[in-house]
Chains A and B, each alone.
Chain A
Amino acid sequence: MNIPKAYIGGFQKAIKLPRMLFIIYFANFFTALILALTFKGVIEESFGQSGILSTLIKDFDFTTFTNLMFDHGDAIGAVIGGIKWLIIAYFLMSIFLTGGIIETFNKDKFTTSSFFGGAAYNFFRFLGLSLVMILVQFIFLFIVYIPLSMILKSVSENMTPEVTLYYIAISGFVFHLLIFLFISMIGDYAKFYLVLNDSFNVFKGFWNGVKYVFGNFLRTYILYLILLFLPAVIMYLYLYLERDIKMATGVGILIVFGMQQAFMILRVFVRTWILSSEFKLYNADFVPPISQQAIVLTVIDTKTNTEKEIVEQPTKIVVKEPVKQETTKVAEETKQEVKTEYAIDFSKTFTSADEEDTSGEKIITEEEMLKKVNEEQATKIEDNIVPADKTNINKEENIQPTIETVQQNVINVEDESGADANKEAIITPINKSVQQNVINVEDESGADDNEKEPDDNANQDDSEADDSEDNSDADDNKSEVVAPNIETIQQNVINAEDESGVETGKDEIIQPNIETVQQNVINVDDESGVDDSKEKDKKSDKGIIEFE
């Protein structure tokens, strides 16, 4: 996605979220109002009935101001001192609100409940991220200012023209400002990473933000700076207009107040716009973790030479903690065997939700998938699945495609006849965001059990329609994508029986990314009638889908 596209897209998205904007604006307004009202009370109390107050109506009056500060400096100082607490409070509130904003972008629509739900859900990881950012800001502060001050000291002690000092000082300041903004920008992308990957690892989030920003330096930074330029222009405009409006009467004060608040709404909008544009940019490049991708199973009946597809939508399976440990352990044990020898080509195995409409694949829920699997189990599909090297088919496979890494995992399946025609389901990644898992299975019966199931997800969205500002042009199913928790491990186990009698019933575990361990286990029951039902039941409790 190029900058103008992100810029315009971000604008379009932000402008369509007025309710969200006003929530943020009012948060700002009421937070500031607390101290402003205190300030008003203090100056009312300080001036009392003094006629000197009238000197302030036309313009700023230095004598009156300093007199007031001298006489009531403690009270006013307390108000001024309160600003730091207000900053801290609003800092926390901003973290909270940003969580809601990104959640809204992620869902591509606004609902009050999801906004605040997202805000609450994201709060602690964003807080952690902000602390990391502040730490990094301080580090860079020292990195910039210690040498800068040394240079300035050295230069100022000599007869260097002072203009050089200014250039150095201004350069240092601008340099630091750019770094400051750069780190802030990294923070934005880190937040996107955390949300889209449902990660709580703020360091990793920050690091991924760094990687993303450096990988897309010009696009991200230019976008950011262009958008930052806007508040400066708006501020100049405000100051220009305010200069000519005297706040001497109630009407004048009201007009300026209106201008000020309009300006603040603009500032809030610009901030939202920046986030929105950045999100657009990031999301365009984002490859969802496998847990969020639709799985397309292409089943080929080698007898009839017909092809059927089963599409599995991202599931909401949340596996309990012990499962993670267990599965991780399994993954660890089989780690050594995650090699290209079991090459499943995920380019045809997984597809993102975004691609669903264009592919025309039927999406089924996990529940339906289970049902389907059971049905298929009943039909006793005879498969001859032979590993590529024809030796290790029974081993449990752990395949770890990461977002950036394209792995070709090929499962060679031999048919009953031993023919080699459909042995390899070679799936080449189309791109990073569209992956398909294609498993060729010889269906002995030739029965087609893979009818596409109706999509219930859209209906679910409709139920929220009255409470939402749905601006999405994308498929509503996207809202059903649930980012897996770091600790969440989903096991999708496919058990299949190998009609040939070759025991292939061992699990193939697919670990889609570092945090998420997904097991796509294909148990293949051979015709010998080995009963894997116990294992199947056990795994089902853990969210394991079994194919027989």
Chain B
Amino acid sequence: MKKSNRYIIIFILLLANQFISHSQENKALSPRNANYTMDVKLDTDKKTIGGQLQLVWRNISPDTLTELQFHLYLNAFKNTESTFMQESGGSFRGSKAGEDELSWGYCDILDMQVKDGENLTSKIKFIQPDNDNKKDQTVIKVPLSDSILPGQTIVIDIKFKSKLPKIFARTGFAGNYFFAGQWFPKIGVYEPAGMRNARKGGWNCHQFHANSEFFADYGVYNVNITVPKDYIVGAVGQLVDEKIQGSEKTVRYKAEDVIDFSWTASQRFIELNDKWGDVKIRLLIQPEHKDMADRHFESAKIALDYFTAHVGPYPYPNLTIIDPPLSGSGSSGMEYPTLITAGDAPAWLPKGIRIVEMVTIHEFGHQYFMGILASNEFEEAWMDEGMNSYLETLIMDAAYGKNTSMFDFAGLKIGDTEMQRTGYANSNSRKIAESYRFAWEYQQGGYGMLSYNKPATFMNTLHRLVGNECMDEIMKTYYKRWKFKHPCSKDFISIVNEVVAKKHGDKFGKDMDWFFNQVLYSSNICDYKLQQIVNNKTSKPDGLFDKDGSKVMGSQIESDSLKEYESKVIVTRIGEVIMPVEVLVRFEDGQEITKTWDGADRSFEFKFLTNSKIVFAQIDPENKIQVDVDFANNSIQLEQNTNPIWKYSVKFLFWLQNIIQTVVWLA
């Protein structure tokens, strides 16, 4: 081979290699318009994270921008005057804030400068886009001297210091356990007119509220984290490199196409690994919880199976599950891209109590609902929490039994779907607001019920109305069309309309807007009642009738068509919500008939002429209408079987006897 040819071959190989590497790195799943490179160090004594970050931000909007806005989430824990603290009353998820100086948290920007450009530090200004709490410091705006043109990229270097609070609202420290969430200056999302619900261009950068989560653009994160060398670190993305220098070690994590970056460090973690296909699952677990490891792995795999089959493929190469200690339980049950924190469950938790499984499945579900389908958690919480809770119920019930998926212990059996439903249906505040509203605007503790329980319930209703196949297609279409983007409610509804029409024609009307208008955009409730069963004996016709050329009395007429009973079932609509319902009618001879009703009128009668009395009737016998808030009034049984009453009365008597007999110890 000629020397020149050798050079050509080497050149081609190098070029190919470069192309392959380049294409691998640039095989972007998302817009990657907010990319961070960070170099930070954890001070385990002062509970601080100090360092610098470089933000590479690209303007993907058609607008020219003159300012940037950033979240400084940790300032929510700076003092009692923050909006978060004002709204939460200083306690969150069982944690209480601010017992000593060390327990407060903050994020200070020490220096901010456009790369090779102006220093922005002095221009930083706290703003409060959501309310007039001037003391809230969770959002800043930074005016720019030089505008950022559409498609242009700006590089900003920021030196910052974050002080972690004592574990509070997902982040902080507990002893030698550190969880860094929402810990660095993070740029907001610029929404041009037409994007989601924006009527005009502007930054979507909300303050940190007690009842709200987050919203961010996709990007690539390269983060160097320095910790004492005996600390085990877990973080969003994959471990790329680890170097030990003296008493410290520096780990480098890289995460692509993610909306956030969090990490954790502790001396006590035990690391366990497993795999699901090509996806590596890493579990960092407390030593005392080691026996629970299989439950975490198993449930994560169940979730991966289900989501992949019914929604879309899991796009990341790994998943890290963090098991916080009891003292750090304030950071449990939280989701970040490729990293979730599990439910804080004691090692002795019986297998029949499936809190571990539920939390792992739920948090994994967030990989999709707002991790991949990055809806705005501030503004449309139902799209992540509600939809994810709905998927959670499907997975839990499929894996662990319809009525036993949450609890199957000591005779107590509770399914996840019914638990979500009762959380809404049996809530006294079920009518206080619609599910569609800004998360921090839910009143009277309605956030959980209206963003988790009710959406999960109406999504289950939708599912049962349109069927499994149709629902699968809805979810898959939603995933395919909106992955790594920022969908909003109307985007999802338009997909529902599209797919339902395709599958069912006009069975449910011209579209499904009627459904979402009632359950999502309204606080109305759905309640149908089986009002009455009437069985009247028919009477023979009276008077004179012509028969064989003569007049005979009606009583003398023999007719096979004459039925013994004229029966009717009366159903009423108590709630405002209108749903198509089915009514099952059972006769004394065992015959069953199912009738349908559009559910629109306030009352409706089903009439029957039969030789057998109606003994039982039930609205919605398959419980499709999960949003019906009262199942007890959906049916009537004329001859009541009193065995259940005796059964529970006898049980009640027995336990009562035991309770009072126990009092004897004091007598």
Chain A residues with a Cβ under 8 A of chain B: 28-29, 31-33, 35-37, 39-40, 43-44, 47, 49-54, 56-57, 59-64, 66-71, 83, 86-87, 90-92, 94-95, 98, 126, 130, 133-134, 137, 156-163, 165-166, 180-181, 184, 187, 243, 247-250, 253, 256-257, 260, 263-264, 267-268, 271
Give chain B nearest CB distance to A325 CB in angstroms: 35
Q: Is the beta-carbon distance between A159 and B177 smaller than 8 angstroms?
A: yes
Give chain B nearest CB distance to A329 CB in angstroms: 39
Residues on the B chain within 8 Å of A86, using CB: 656, 660
Among A39, A68, A166, A271, contact of B661 (Cβ-Cβ < 8 Å): A271
- Can you show 5 pairs from A to B with CB atoms below 8 A apart? A28-B660, A36-B653, A62-B413, A160-B327, A271-B661
Q: Is the beta-carbon distance between A94 and B632 smaller than 8 angstroms?
A: no
Size category of the B interface is: 35 or more
Residue B659 lies at the interface, judged by CB distance under 8 Å to chain A? yes
Q: Is the beta-carbon distance between B421 and A63 smaller than 8 angstroms?
A: yes
Residue B461 lies at the interface, judged by CB distance under 8 Å to chain A? no
Q: Which residues 631-667 of B sit at the A interface, judged by CB distance below 8 A?
A: 631-638, 640-654, 656-661, 663-667
Q: Is the beta-carbon distance between B411 and A60 smaller than 8 angstroms?
A: yes
Q: A36-B653, A163-B288, A247-B651 known; 10 other A-B pairs, CB under 8 Å?
A: A44-B645, A47-B640, A62-B418, A70-B630, A71-B632, A91-B666, A91-B667, A159-B325, A161-B325, A260-B654
| Measured CA separation A248–B631 after assembly (Å) | 22
| Measured CA separation A86–B659 after assembly (Å) | 10
Among B630, B635, B660, B667, contact of A130 (Cβ-Cβ < 8 Å): B667
Among A61, A83, A137, A250, contact of B656 (Cβ-Cβ < 8 Å): A83
Residue B556 lies at the interface, judged by CB distance under 8 Å to chain A? no
Q: Which chain B residue shows the least CB distance to A51?
A: B635
Residue B347 lies at the interface, judged by CB distance under 8 Å to chain A? yes
Give chain A nearest CB distance to B290 CB in angstroms: 11
| Measured CA separation A126–B664 after assembly (Å) | 12
Known contacts A53-B644, A67-B630; is-contact A32 B666 (Cβ 8 Å): no
Residues on the A chain within 8 Å of B422, using CB: 62-63, 66-67
Residues on the A chain within 8 Å of B646, using CB: 40, 250, 253
Residue B182 lies at the interface, judged by CB distance under 8 Å to chain A? no
Residue B175 lies at the interface, judged by CB distance under 8 Å to chain A? yes
Known contacts A44-B645, A70-B425, A159-B177; is-contact A271 B657 (Cβ 8 Å): no
Among B348, B618, B660, contact of A31 (Cβ-Cβ < 8 Å): B660
Which secondary structure characterizes the binding site on chain A? helix
How many residue pairs between the two chains, A and B, have CB atoms under 8 Å in the bound complex? Answer: 200
Q: Which chain A residue shows the least CB distance to B174?
A: A159
| Measured CA separation A44–B652 after assembly (Å) | 14
Residue B567 lies at the interface, judged by CB distance under 8 Å to chain A? no
Residues on the B chain within 8 Å of A91, using CB: 663, 666-667
| Measured CA separation A44–B412 after assembly (Å) | 22
Residues on the A chain within 8 Å of B638, using CB: 49
Q: Which chain A residue shows the least CB distance to B289?
A: A162
Among B176, B616, B658, B659, contact of A51 (Cβ-Cβ < 8 Å): B616
Residue B451 lies at the interface, judged by CB distance under 8 Å to chain A? no
Residues on the A chain within 8 Å of B656, using CB: 32, 35-36, 83, 86
Known contacts A59-B413, A62-B414, A158-B175; is-contact A50 B637 (Cβ 8 Å): yes
| Measured CA separation A527–B526 after assembly (Å) | 111
| Measured CA separation A61–B413 after assembly (Å) | 7
Among B327, B618, B637, B659, contact of A157 (Cβ-Cβ < 8 Å): B327
Chain B residues with a Cβ under 8 A of chain A: 166, 174-177, 268, 286-288, 325-327, 346-348, 403, 411-415, 418-419, 421-422, 425-426, 616, 618, 630-638, 640-654, 656-661, 663-667
Q: Is the beta-carbon distance between B403 and A95 smaller than 8 angstroms?
A: no
Residues on the B chain within 8 Å of A95, using CB: 667
Residues on the A chain within 8 Å of B268, using CB: 159, 161
Known contacts A130-B667, A158-B175, A159-B174; is-contact A64 B643 (Cβ 8 Å): no
| Measured CA separation A2–B658 after assembly (Å) | 31
Most buried by B among A61, A64, A92: A61
| Measured CA separation A68–B426 after assembly (Å) | 10
Q: Is the beta-carbon distance between B641 and A57 smaller than 8 angstroms?
A: yes
Q: Is the beta-carbon distance between A49 and B640 smaller than 8 angstroms?
A: yes
Residues on the A chain within 8 Å of B632, using CB: 47, 50, 52, 64, 67-68, 71
Known contacts A56-B648, A57-B647, A159-B327; is-contact A98 B637 (Cβ 8 Å): no
Q: Which chain B residue shows the least CB distance to A35?
A: B656
Known contacts A33-B653, A161-B325, A162-B286; is-contact A53 B641 (Cβ 8 Å): yes
Among A32, A248, A253, contact of B660 (Cβ-Cβ < 8 Å): A32
Residues on the A chain within 8 Å of B647, using CB: 56-57, 247-248, 253
Q: Is the beta-carbon distance between B666 and A184 smaller than 8 angstroms?
A: yes
Residues on the A chain within 8 Å of B348, using CB: 166
Q: Is the beta-carbon distance between B648 and A264 smaller than 8 angstroms?
A: no
Among A47, A49, A62, contact of B403 (Cβ-Cβ < 8 Å): A62
Q: Is the beta-carbon distance between B659 and A87 smaller than 8 angstroms?
A: yes
Residues on the A chain within 8 Å of B631, using CB: 52, 63-64, 67
Q: Which chain A residue shows the least CB distance to B653?
A: A36
Q: Is the beta-carbon distance between A159 and B175 smaller than 8 angstroms?
A: yes
Residues on the B chain within 8 Å of A87, using CB: 659-660, 663
Most buried by B among A36, A57, A126: A36
Among B618, B633, B637, B649, contact of A39 (Cβ-Cβ < 8 Å): B649
Among A40, A54, A156, A158, contact of B637 (Cβ-Cβ < 8 Å): A54
Q: Is the beta-carbon distance between B347 and A163 smaller than 8 angstroms?
A: yes
Known contacts A29-B657, A91-B663; is-contact A43 B648 (Cβ 8 Å): yes
Among A44, A49, A92, contact of B636 (Cβ-Cβ < 8 Å): A49
Q: Is the beta-carbon distance between B660 and A43 smaller than 8 angstroms?
A: no
Known contacts A60-B411, A91-B667, A159-B327; is-contact A53 B640 (Cβ 8 Å): yes
Closest 7 pairs (CB-CB, A-B) = A159-B175, A51-B635, A94-B667, A162-B326, A36-B653, A40-B649, A70-B426
Give chain B nearest CB distance to A447 CB in angstroms: 57
Q: Is the beta-carbon distance between A90 and B663 smaller than 8 angstroms?
A: yes
Q: Is the beta-carbon distance between A156 and B660 smaller than 8 angstroms?
A: no
Q: Is the beta-carbon distance between B650 and A28 smaller than 8 angstroms?
A: no
Q: Which chain B residue shows the least CB distance to A228?
A: B665
Give chain A nearest CB distance to B549 CB in angstroms: 51
Q: Which chain B residue shows the least CB distance to A61?
A: B403
| Measured CA separation A129–B601 after assembly (Å) | 68
Known contacts A32-B660, A39-B652, A267-B658; is-contact A250 B426 (Cβ 8 Å): no
Among B174, B403, B645, contact of A53 (Cβ-Cβ < 8 Å): B645
| Measured CA separation A31–B656 after assembly (Å) | 9
Q: Is the beta-carbon distance between A264 and B637 smaller than 8 angstroms?
A: no
Among B177, B633, B641, B650, contact of A257 (Cβ-Cβ < 8 Å): B650
Residues on the B chain within 8 Å of A253, using CB: 643, 646-647, 650
Residues on the A chain within 8 Å of B633, using CB: 50
Residues on the A chain within 8 Å of B635, using CB: 50-52
| Measured CA separation A163–B268 after assembly (Å) | 13
Q: Which chain B residue shows the least CB distance to A256?
A: B650
| Measured CA separation A29–B656 after assembly (Å) | 9
Q: Is the beta-carbon distance between A248 and B643 smaller than 8 angstroms?
A: yes
Q: Which chain B residue shows the least CB distance to A44?
A: B645
| Measured CA separation A2–B158 after assembly (Å) | 81
Residues on the A chain within 8 Å of B630, using CB: 67, 70-71
Q: Is the beta-carbon distance between B327 and A162 smaller than 8 angstroms?
A: yes
Known contacts A60-B411, A247-B647, A253-B650; is-contact A66 B426 (Cβ 8 Å): yes
Q: Which chain B residue shows the least CB distance to A257?
A: B650
| Measured CA separation A313–B142 after assembly (Å) | 106
Residues on the B chain within 8 Å of A271, using CB: 661, 664
Residues on the A chain within 8 Å of B663, using CB: 87, 90-91, 94
| Measured CA separation A113–B348 after assembly (Å) | 53
Q: Which chain A residue shows the least CB distance to B616?
A: A51
Q: Is the beta-carbon distance between B637 and A51 smaller than 8 angstroms?
A: yes
Known contacts A28-B661, A62-B403, A94-B664; is-contact A51 B636 (Cβ 8 Å): yes
Q: Which chain A residue shows the least CB distance to B325?
A: A162
Residues on the B chain within 8 Å of A67, using CB: 422, 425-426, 630-632
| Measured CA separation A127–B244 after assembly (Å) | 73
